[in-house]
Structure 1
Amino acid sequence: MDILVLIGRILFSALFLGSAVGHLTQTKAMAGYASSKGVPQAFAATLVSGVVIAAGGLMVLLGIWADLGALLLAIFLVPTAILMHAFWKETDAQARQGEMVQFQKDIALAGAAIMLFALISFAGDELGLTITGPLFDIS
């Protein structure tokens, strides 16, 4: 089972690490987009969210307090879904559909991150192929 969880951690974290690179290397452009969506202090929010998803993604990938990393990703995903993909505000049908897909993707990933948090926190030190054990114990 350890190898399957490792493969899952690699596949799961790849999305967030790629996104973090974008947040941290194209901050001005991404902040402009966030600002157009009504995100307050968009430049700072883009930088902070980039750091959060980089940290969370690396923690999950490397197995360093991976439960905390998964929790950080969930905490990032829910507000992002609501603030950045508010499909209910769109008047154009095609734009509404696109935003709905992105909203649902973020919510589904948040659910997966919460499940990963629970799995790692519950498994404790029994989960192999990690650098550290979990930070939380929910057993």
Structure 2
Amino acid sequence: MDVLVLIGRILFALVFLYSAVGHLTQHRQLGAYAAAKGVPAAEAATVLSGVLLLLGGLSVALGVWADLGALLIAAFLFPTALVMHAFWKETDPQARQTEQISFLKGIALGGAALVMCAFFAYAAHDLGLTLTGPLLSMG
């Protein structure tokens, strides 16, 4: 089971690590997009979100306080879904559908991150292949 959890952690974290690189290396372009969506201090917010994604992704992938890393990912995903993918504001049907799909993916991944946080807080002491135990404790 330890190997399955490790593979799952790495696969889950990859999308956020990839996104982190994009946020940090293309912060001007992504900041302009965020500004168009109404995000205040958009370029700084883009860099901050890149740092959250990087720390959260590394934490989950490496098993270093993976519960906290999963919370960082959730802390990015829920506000991002609400602000950047506000499908209810779109008037064009195709844009509305695209944003709705992105919104639903974001909140689904956020939910998975919360489950992962609880999983590690509850059972991480029994898991192998992590570098640290959980920061939080539920069990």
Q: Per the shorter chain, which TM-score range?
A: over 0.9
Aligned to 2:120: 120
Structure 1 residue 83 and structure 2 residue 83: aligned? yes
Aligned to 2:129: 129
CA contact (8 A) 1:70 1:117 kept: yes
C-alpha deviation, 1:124, in angstroms: 3.2
> Gaps spanning 5+ residues in structure 1: where?
none
Aligned length: 139
C-alpha deviation, 1:100, in angstroms: 0.2
C-alpha deviation, 1:85, in angstroms: 0.1
CA distance in 2, matches of 1:101, 1:66: 27
Q: Secondary structure of 1:38's partner?
A: coil
**TM-score calculated relative to the size of structure 2:** 0.99
Aligned to 1:18: 18
Q: Superposition pairs for residues 24-43 of structure 1, below 5 Å?
A: 24-43=24-43
CA offsets, 1:28-65, max 9 Å, x none?
00000000000111011000000001000000000000
Aligned to 2:94: 94
CA distance in 2, matches of 1:135, 1:110: 19
Structure 1 residue 59 and structure 2 residue 59: aligned? yes
Structure 1 residue 110 and structure 2 residue 106: aligned? no
Q: Secondary structure of 1:136's partner?
A: coil
CA contact (8 A) 1:124 1:137 kept: no
**TM-score calculated relative to the size of structure 1:** 0.99
C-alpha deviation, 1:130, in angstroms: 0.3
C-alpha deviation, 1:125, in angstroms: 1.3
CA distance in 1, matches of 2:110, 2:138: 19
CA distance in 2, matches of 1:127, 1:107: 27
> Gaps spanning 5+ residues in structure 2: where?
none
Percent identical across equivalent pairs?
A: 62
CA distance in 2, matches of 1:3, 1:98: 35
Runs of 4+ residues over 2 Å off in structure 1: none
CA distance in 2, matches of 1:124, 1:61: 14
Judge which range, 7-16 or 118-127, deviates more.
118-127
- Superposition RMSD in Å: 0.5
CA distance in 2, matches of 1:127, 1:72: 21
CA offsets, 1:53-84, max 9 Å, x none?
10000000000000000000001100000000
